[in-house]
């Protein structure tokens, strides 16, 4: 899928850190497919004593920001930001707002640019990326999952409600549900097959069993930066101030549990057992060159409270999102993972700022480190479907894999890898990194009878 993003000189979010000609004194950063000098994503790692420390990815290294603070390389708001990054999570830095994060980014970019006097100071804080163990980047107090892809909503709606796939409220407000922050885990955490109530079509009595329809969802995770005020709605014009950054997100789903429980209040146990996120937070500032107008959808109603000139011009982000699968048999025989789909976040029906503004409309406050899920991202074409339930039409049309294997839904030993990147026509590229999860058998399945009712 080719990029269609150009650097728009009218883009109000651009500054010197987005100059395509920037070159770093760190050789591995130049031309790096993920972590060039134009990215500078934040993360948290554990040091040799198990202490969590904030860091920034650059090339094949991470910058230990706790160690960099000892060098005192910055002044002004750049220094304010660096001091907050001596914490064991990103939350305090996030809370300082976009002006501080922007100034810190500018200071760090200048320090990493070829010819900078700060090179010796930064070098002393560098650690090989291969030597660090990454954690969740912040304390996630709340998690809300949205449903922003009209293509996914329509495809799944046809399976659950053939006569009424897209409910009338969809085009008037961003649909979402409150998820479980306690079950959000970093990439690489094992995904244990969940156990729950399922109703077989030939009976009226549900059974408690391990899900037979385990699925993935290709999503974007959105982190809240500066908190909002309780009882005050954030207008669409001010929502950008609270947008900190993004990661890749996989909201694992048990479709048979979901089909039984989702009416009338929506997903519950079918979603709460596991959500995986990539460890790097790519900031809103880094995404600036890839802002695009939201995709136009014909006959879309105009929701005045969720419209602004800026959102109409730059509310979309062209983030390419890819899903790959490898099975236990494939790995055993040395066969690399294969791509299941690729889509773009630019197809989202609702933008990030619309999600933020709508979430606060009743006065609900958002806190620093809160996570919003975009919902499964699917494009208009079949090869852009963001979940197996779409690709296989609910398991009715299995897909063929190497080694004469077939899948309707995921089996134990399957590994799903989601990745994301942005690329402009002039070659500017940044990556979101990957989120990986491997399916393991249900931990509690031995405690439940596969026969008989609940």
Give CB contacts under 8 A, 24+ apart, made by 203-207. Answer: 205/453, 205/454, 206/260, 206/453, 206/454, 207/450, 207/451, 207/452, 207/453, 207/454
pLDDT score at 263: 86
Number of neighbouring beta carbons within 10 Å of residue 205 = 9
pLDDT score at 1: 39
CB 440, CB 412: distance < 8 Å? yes
CB 105, CB 40: distance < 8 Å? yes
Known catalytic residues are 152
In this predicted structure, which of 212-221, 260-269, 442-451 has the lowest mean pLDDT? 442-451
pLDDT score at 394: 96
**Secondary structure class of 146 (helix, strand, coil):** strand
Q: What's domain 16-134's superfamily in CATH?
A: Fumarylacetoacetase, N-terminal domain (2.30.30.230)
pLDDT score at 185: 98
Q: What is the DSSP letter of 346?
A: G
Q: Exposed (0-12), middle (13-18) or buried (19+): which is 216, by Cβ within 10 Å?
A: buried
The pLDDT of 194-212, averaged and rounded, is 92
Whether the pLDDT of residue 4 is over 70: the answer is no
- What is d(CA 91, CA 93) in angstroms, rounded to the nearest whole number? 5
Q: Kindly provide the residue ranges of all beta strands, DSSP E only, lying in 97-210, ordered along the sequence.
A: 126-128, 133-134, 143-146, 176-178, 184-186, 191-192, 195-198, 207-210
- What is d(CA 363, CA 141) in angstroms, rounded to the nearest whole number? 17
Query: What pTM value is reported for the model?
Result: 0.95
The pLDDT of 117-132, averaged and rounded, is 98
Averaged pLDDT of the chain: 95
CA distances from 254 to 155, 352, 377, 448 (A): 17, 26, 18, 17
Pairing of strands 191-192, 184-186: unpaired
- What is d(CA 284, CA 400) in angstroms, rounded to the nearest whole number? 38
Cα dihedral 81, 83, 89, 92, rounded to 10, equals -60
Whether the pLDDT of residue 2 is over 80: the answer is no
The pLDDT of 119-139, averaged and rounded, is 98
Q: How confident is the model at residue 7 (pLDDT cuts 50, 70, 90)?
A: low
pLDDT score at 3: 47
The pLDDT of 372-390, averaged and rounded, is 98
* CATH T-level topology, domain 143-447: Fumarylacetoacetate hydrolase; domain 2 (3.90.850)
- pLDDT tens for 62-101 read 999 999 999 999 999 999 999 999 999 999 999 999 999 9
CB 252, CB 274: distance < 8 Å? yes
Q: What is the DSSP letter of 410?
A: B
The pLDDT of 183-187, averaged and rounded, is 98
Terminal-to-terminal C-alpha distance of the chain: 47
**Domain segments of the chain as ranges:** 16-134, 143-447
pLDDT score at 451: 38
Whether the pLDDT of residue 449 is over 60: the answer is no
Whether the pLDDT of residue 454 is over 70: the answer is no
CB 290, CB 318: distance < 8 Å? yes
- What is d(CA 176, CA 355) in angstroms, rounded to the nearest whole number? 9
Higher pLDDT, 111 or 451: 111
* Bridge partners (DSSP) listed for residue 418: 323, 435
pLDDT score at 181: 98
- What is d(CA 225, CA 111) in angstroms, rounded to the nearest whole number? 24
Q: Please report which residue ranges of 266-403 form alpha helices under DSSP H.
A: 309-314, 328-332, 352-359, 388-391
pLDDT score at 425: 87
């Amino acid at each position: 899928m080719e990029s269609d993003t150009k650097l728009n000189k009218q883009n109000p979010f651009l500054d010197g850190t987005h100059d395509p000609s920037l070159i770093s004194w760190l050789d591995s950063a130049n031309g790096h497919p993920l972590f060039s000098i134009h990215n500078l994503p934040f993360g948290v790692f554990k040091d040799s004593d198990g202490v969590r420390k904030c860091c920034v990815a650059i090339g094949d290294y991470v910058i230990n920001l706790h160690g960099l603070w000892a060098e005192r390389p910055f002044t002004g708001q750049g220094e304010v930001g660096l001091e907050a990054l001596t914490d064991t999570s990103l939350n305090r830095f996030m809370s300082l707002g976009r002006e501080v994060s922007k100034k810190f980014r500018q200071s760090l970019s200048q320090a990493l640019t070829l010819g900078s006097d700060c090179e010796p100071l930064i070098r002393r804080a560098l650690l090989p990326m291969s030597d660090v163990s990454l954690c969740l980047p912040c304390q996630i107090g709340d998690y809300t999952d949205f449903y922003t892809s009209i293509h996914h909503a329509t495809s799944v709606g046809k399976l659950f409600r053939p006569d009424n796939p897209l409910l009338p409220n969809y085009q008037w407000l961003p649909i979402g549900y409150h998820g479980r922050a306690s079950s959000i885990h970093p990439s690489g955490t094992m995904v244990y097959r969940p156990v729950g109530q399922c109703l077989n079509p030939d009976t009226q009595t549900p059974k408690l069993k391990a899900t037979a329809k385990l699925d993935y969802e290709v999503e974007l995770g959105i982190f809240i930066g500066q908190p909002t005020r309780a009882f005050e709605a954030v207008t669409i014009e001010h929502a950008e101030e609270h947008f900190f950054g993004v990661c890749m997100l996989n909201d694992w789903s048990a479709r048979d549990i979901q089909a039984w429980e989702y009416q009338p209040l929506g997903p519950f146990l079918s979603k709460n057992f596991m959500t995986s996120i990539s460890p790097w937070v790519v900031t809103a500032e880094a995404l600036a060159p890839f802002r695009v107008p939201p995709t136009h959808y014909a006959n879309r109603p105009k929701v005045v409270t969720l419209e602004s000139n800026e959102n109409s011009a730059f509310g979309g982000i062209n983030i390419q999102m890819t899903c790959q699968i490898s099975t236990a048999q494939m790995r055993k025989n040395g066969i690399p993972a294969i791509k299941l789909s690729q889509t773009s976040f630019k197809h989202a029906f609702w933008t990030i700022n619309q999600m933020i503004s709508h979430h606060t409309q009743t006065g609900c406050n958002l806190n620093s480190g809160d996570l919003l899920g975009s919902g499964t991202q699917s494009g208009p074409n079949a090869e852009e479907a963001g979940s197996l339930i779409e690709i296989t039409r609910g398991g009715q049309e299995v897909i063929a894999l190497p080694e004469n294997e077939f899948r309707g839904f995921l089996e134990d030993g399957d590994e799903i890898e989601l990745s994301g990147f942005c690329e402009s026509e002039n070659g500017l590229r940044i990556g979101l990194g990957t989120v990986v999860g491997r399916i393991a058998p249900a931990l509690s399945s031995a405690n439940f009878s596969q026969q008989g009712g609940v």
